[in-house]
């Protein structure tokens, strides 16, 4: 935090660490844009990403509620999910997630997004609430850093962070098309290369896109 850093890469690793620590099967993070709408920023897999995007498109679900209310949202079974958000039932069933915990990301009184953890087995997802919130708080600090920032500066930083995420999305598509693999496998490949070479996820994604552009021009 005392030097320049890649927010996307650090937060993606933070989400992976959270899933390991809490025996979860996936995690995602959404943040607010300038117009107030939410946008996906990071996820631990393509499957999790698709589930988050479905919530955003439906404008309904745990990540929406956690951001708008500023409170944690917990569901412990698929029946619970169906009762609260019936439009999301098929998406959760397809992803094989049956329990969740969504917590708000707060900065100086503002709720700027939410972190979602998902489990495949029905369980009391409300356990370890303080630890889950701690991961969300760390993600918030990583995005906005520790010094005071104005609302305009906060929007600029979230915009820059989202730009890095879009680069990763493009790289996933390039890998999937070029190598004939799924988007999920392409995302895993990016994570593996970043870890193996001790570089940021954004750097790996930018390299993939640059190579593809060079091959096209050649």
Q: Is the pTM of this model over 0.75?
A: no
Distance CA 194, CA 205 (A): 9
> Residue 159 pLDDT more than 90?
no
The predicted-structure confidence for 191-216, as pLDDT tens digits, reads as follows: 999 989 988 888 999 999 999 887 76
The predicted-structure confidence for 100-156, as pLDDT tens digits, reads as follows: 999 999 998 889 999 999 999 877 777 788 999 999 999 998 888 745 667 777 788
139 and 173 Cβ atoms separated by less than 8 Å = no
The predicted-structure confidence for 24-61, as pLDDT tens digits, reads as follows: 999 999 998 877 789 999 999 999 999 999 999 999 99
Tokens of 4: 């320049």
Distance CA 211, CA 213 (A): 5
Distance CA 158, CA 67 (A): 15
């Amino acid at each position: 935090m005392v030097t320049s850093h890649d927010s996307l890469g650090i937060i993606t690793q933070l989400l992976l660490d959270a899933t390991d620590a809490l025996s979860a099967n996936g995690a995602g993070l959404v943040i607010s844009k300038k117009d107030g709408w939410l946008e996906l920023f990071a996820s631990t897999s393509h499957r999790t990403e698709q589930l988050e995007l479905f919530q955003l498109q439906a404008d309904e679900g745990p990540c929406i509620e956690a951001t708008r209310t500023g409170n944690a949202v917990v569901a412990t079974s698929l029946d619970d999910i169906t009762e609260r958000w019936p439009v999301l039932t098929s998406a959760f069933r397809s992803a094989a997630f049956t329990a969740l915990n969504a917590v708000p990301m707060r900065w100086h009184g503002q709720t700027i997004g939410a972190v979602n953890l998902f489990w495949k087995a029905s369980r009391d997802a409300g356990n370890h609430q303080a630890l889950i919130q701690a991961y969300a708080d760390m993600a918030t600090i990583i995005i906005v850093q520790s010094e005071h920032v104005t609302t305009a500066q906060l929007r600029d930083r979230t915009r820059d962070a989202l730009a890095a995420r879009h680069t990763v999305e493009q790289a996933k598509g390039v890998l999937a098309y070029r190598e004939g693999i799924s988007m999920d496998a392409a995302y895993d490949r990016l994570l593996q290369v970043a870890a193996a070479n001790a570089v940021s996820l954004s750097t790996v994604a930018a390299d993939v896109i640059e190579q593809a552009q060079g091959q096209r021009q050649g």
